[in-house]
Amino acid sequence: MNKKSDVAQGDLEFSDINLSLAEFFMDKWALGVTGHYYEFKLPNSSYRQVNGDLGLIYTPKSHIGWALVVYNIMGENKDIPEAIRPKTTVAGGFNYIYKAMVRFRVDATSESVYMAGLETYLNQFIITRFGYSNDTDDQRELITAGVGFKGPRFALNYAYQGNPQNSGDYRHSVDLEIPF
């Protein structure tokens, strides 16, 4: 992911190269890990950091799931200015699937971010997604919408994320999944 934004120190160019792996390790329990290589470029300085996330999912029933994630488990790089530094946080979430056609999800983090999302399958392959996020510390609300194709051999997803109060605060993303 590459992102440009304005911060107090000037124009920020941020990139996050990541790799995620996950697998069930026992009945109803899954573990996931993501490795990150962060790069921050400001007008007069640049910073790099390697970090990771660790997640645990429990699915007591096929249509219900609980999750716990620790972000930036290797700690915070104190050399990076606090305003742009990836913070070590904890998040929890709940997932409910209705008749394999509708998925509802809520999440909350230790950094006062609350999220909700709805995903619906229009048919066997096409998915629509809608969501809402509120970062109460930064007073930043986001609305999301997306569409995806989930085929038997690969998946392709598009998403739009925008701030209704700030027309310059938006992003588009494209995601390609190839299971192996």
- Position 83, amino acid: A
- The whole-number average pLDDT for the span 86-105 is 95
| Whether residue 10 is found in the same domain as residue 65 | yes
Instruction: Tell me the per-residue pLDDT of 23-59, one tens digit each, with 9 for 90 and over.
Output: 999 999 999 999 999 999 999 899 999 999 999 999 9
Same domain, 111 and 140: yes
Question: Is residue 84 assigned to a domain?
Answer: no
Q: Do both 73 and 114 map to the same domain?
A: no
Which residues are bridge partners to 53 per DSSP? 34
The 10s digit of each residue's pLDDT in 129-165 is 999 999 888 788 999 999 999 998 899 999 999 988 8
Distance CA(158)–CA(122), nearest Å, equals 15
- Whether the predicted pLDDT of 168 surpasses 80: no
Residue 69 maps to a domain: yes
2, two tokens: 């590459």
User: Do 178 and 97 share a structural domain?
Assistant: yes
Where among 29, 50, 77 does a domain terminate? 77
**CA proximity to 16, closest of 84, 79, 83:** 84
Give yes or no for residue 74 having a pLDDT over 80: yes
Specify the pairing of strand 64-71 against strand 89-98.
Answer: antiparallel
**Whether 1 and 51 share a structural domain:** yes
Among residues 25, 56, 77, the one where a domain terminates is 77
Identify the pLDDT of residue 1. Answer: 81
User: What pLDDT does 66 receive?
Assistant: 98
- Bigger pLDDT: 169 vs 161: 161
Residue 102 has what pLDDT? 95
User: Are residue 36 and residue 66 in the same domain, yes or no?
Assistant: yes
Cβ density class 145-178: b for 16+ within 10 Å, e for less: ebebeeeeeebebebebbeeeeeeeeeeeeeeee
> Quick check: is 109 in a domain?
yes
Please report the pLDDT score of residue 166 as a whole number: 81
- What is the total count of domains within the chain? 2
Among 14, 42, 77, the domain-final residue is 77
Q: What is the mean pLDDT of residues 90-103?
A: 95
Residues 73 and 96 in one domain: no
Regarding whether 105 and 35 lie in a shared domain, the answer is no
- Are 135 and 50 contained in the same domain? no
In a domain, 82, yes or no: no
- Read off the pLDDT of residues 108-119 as tens digits, 9 standing for 90 and up: 999 999 999 999
Q: Choose between 164 and 91: higher pLDDT.
A: 91
Contacts 24+ apart (CB under 8 A), 30-39: 30/56, 30/57, 30/59, 31/55, 31/56, 31/57, 32/56, 32/57, 36/72, 36/86, 38/14, 38/86, 39/13, 39/14, 39/15
Are 98 and 171 members of one domain?
Answer: yes
Give the confidence band of 95 by pLDDT, cuts at 50, 70, 90. Answer: very high
Q: Is 154 within a domain? A: yes
What integer pLDDT is reported at residue 164 of this predicted model? Answer: 84
Q: How far apart are CA 146 and CA 144, in angstroms?
A: 7
- The length of the chain is 180
Q: Could you tell me if residue 100 is inside a domain? A: yes
**Residue 143 pLDDT:** 94
**Residue 96 and residue 25 in one domain:** no
| Cα 170 off chain centre by | 15
Tell me: do 102 and 161 sit in the same domain. Answer: yes
Decide if 98 is inside a domain.
Answer: yes
Range of the domain at 70: 1-77
